[in-house]
């Protein structure tokens, strides 16, 4: 088994901890992994830390300087540098469970899939609001639609590089600064006939920064997610005017429905936030669909 692991980083010293977790992976002796680190910073300031950590942990590492402050540029650099039949992605603020890669590879084989997603479990700090912990707003799992996964994320995924659905597929650079580039990438994979599966045992964890653990940050993220979903709807329907109007009306109805359910929960802050966050997602869809 020969697997490349793509790790995009931007001014985050936690990348060293991520690399150490990859060195602790429990793998069969005949497996070979190589870590491709794409540094998205303007300078190579993190190179020494990255290469030193790799040496200390006996990791086969390829460092690539992909300056742009654009995550799509870094992700595409990993695609270009990969040579193994399989390519995994993990984020530079995550820690891989020792069984992570083996569980992804097993699911890819069993499901005969083109991509396999694993869960990203959030780790909340002691000062994190209870409503965020109770709602687990920062963990990431696949979204199922009619028993199928139609999009995905790069925080925990394994790709079959030889898949026809992946040929010439790239992360869109115009989305690399605003987000959603991975969702659009996997939606395009699905539309090209690719199968996306799920490996619940392939766990990575991520500490939630205190600066993000608030309602305003989540509201902005949900709105951006809605915009991305609107873009995927346009991509799926070929920008058909009739489909655009239909989806605008549908998302507008869902937005109003969320506001109606939020109103009776003024004295129940957790439920109020829940419905407002759902409403923000649908508002993002409407805004993106109304753009020319």
Q: What 3-state class would DSSP assign to 171?
A: coil
Structure confidence by residue, pLDDT tens digits, 14-33: 999 999 999 999 999 999 99
CA distances in angstroms from 82 to 3, 33, 108, listed in the order given? 9, 11, 18
> Checking DSSP bridges between strand 86-91 and strand 156-160, what pairing results, if any?
antiparallel
CA distance 28 to 99: 11
Residue 278: which of 245, 248, 246, 256 has the closest Cα? 256
CATH entry 3.40.710.10 includes domain 2-209: no
Instruction: Check whether 262 has a pLDDT greater than 80.
Output: yes
Percent of the chain with pLDDT over 90: 96
Predicted confidence at residue 104, as pLDDT, reads 98
Structure confidence by residue, pLDDT tens digits, 113-152: 999 999 999 999 999 999 999 999 999 999 999 899 999 9
Percent of the chain with pLDDT over 70: 100
Residue bearing tokens 């659905």: 165
Predicted confidence at residue 149, as pLDDT, reads 97
CA distance 255 to 108: 37
Provide the token pair at 82.
């990969």
CA angle 194, 233, 248 (to 5 degrees): 160
Instruction: Check whether 168 has a pLDDT greater than 80.
Output: yes
Residue 102: which of 168, 151, 15, 30 has the closest Cα? 30
Q: Domain map of the chain by residue range?
A: 2-209, 215-290
Predicted confidence at residue 235, as pLDDT, reads 86
Predicted confidence at residue 162, as pLDDT, reads 94
What backbone torsions phi and psi does residue 28 show, to the nearest 5 degrees? -60, 155
Predicted confidence at residue 237, as pLDDT, reads 86
Is residue 236 very low, low, confident or very high in pLDDT (cuts 50, 70, 90)?
Answer: confident
CA distance 171 to 129: 34
Predicted confidence at residue 200, as pLDDT, reads 97
Under a CB-based contact definition with an 8 Å cutoff, are residues 281 and 274 in contact? no
Give the rounded distance of the alpha carbon of 211 from its chain centre. Answer: 20
What backbone torsions phi and psi does residue 210 show, to the nearest 5 degrees? -60, -35
Instruction: Check whether 292 has a pLDDT greater than 80.
Output: no
Strands (E), the chain: 2-9, 32-39, 61-65, 86-91, 94-96, 115-117, 120-123, 144-145, 148-149, 156-160, 196-198, 204-207
Under a CB-based contact definition with an 8 Å cutoff, are residues 217 and 277 in contact? no
Provide the token pair at 246.
């239909």
CA distance 36 to 25: 16
Structure confidence by residue, pLDDT tens digits, 63-100: 999 998 999 999 999 999 999 999 999 999 999 999 99
Predicted confidence at residue 137, as pLDDT, reads 97
Predicted confidence at residue 220, as pLDDT, reads 97
Average pLDDT, the chain: 96
Predicted confidence at residue 239, as pLDDT, reads 79
């Amino acid at each position: 088994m020969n697997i490349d692991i793509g790790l995009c980083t931007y001014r985050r010293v936690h990348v060293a901890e991520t690399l150490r977790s990859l060195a602790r992976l429990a793998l069969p002796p005949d497996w070979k992994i190589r870590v491709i680190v794409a540094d998205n910073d303007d300078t190579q300031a993190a190179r020494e830390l990255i290469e030193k950590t790799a040496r200390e942990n006996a990791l086969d590492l390829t460092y690539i300087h992909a300056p742009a402050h654009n995550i799509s540029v870094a992700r595409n650099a990993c695609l270009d540098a990969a040579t193994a039949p399989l390519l995994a992605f993990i984020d530079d603020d995550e820690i891989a469970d020792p069984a992570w890669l083996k569980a992804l590879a097993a699911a890819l084989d069993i499901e005969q899939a083109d991509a396999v997603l694993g869960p990203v479990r959030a780790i909340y700090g002691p000062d994190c609001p209870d409503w965020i912990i109770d709602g687990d707003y920062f963990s990431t799992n696949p979204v199922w639609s009619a028993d199928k996964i139609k999009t995905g994320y790069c925080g925990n995924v394994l790709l079959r590089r030889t898949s026809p659905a992946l040929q010439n597929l790239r992360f869109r650079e115009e989305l690399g600064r605003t987000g959603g580039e991975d969702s659009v990438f996997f939606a395009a994979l699905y539309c090209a006939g690719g199968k996306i599966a799920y490996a619940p045992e392939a766990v990575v964890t991520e500490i939630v920064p205190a600066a993000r653990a608030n309602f305003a940050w989540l509201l902005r993220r949900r709105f951006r997610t809605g915009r991305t979903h609107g873009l995927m709807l346009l991509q799926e329907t070929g920008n058909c005017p009739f489909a655009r109007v239909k989806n605008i009306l549908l998302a507008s109805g869902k937005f109003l429905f969320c506001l109606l359910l939020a109103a009776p929960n003024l004295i129940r802050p957790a439920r109020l936030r829940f419905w407002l966050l759902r409403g923000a997602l649908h508002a993002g869809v409407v805004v993106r669909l109304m753009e020319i």
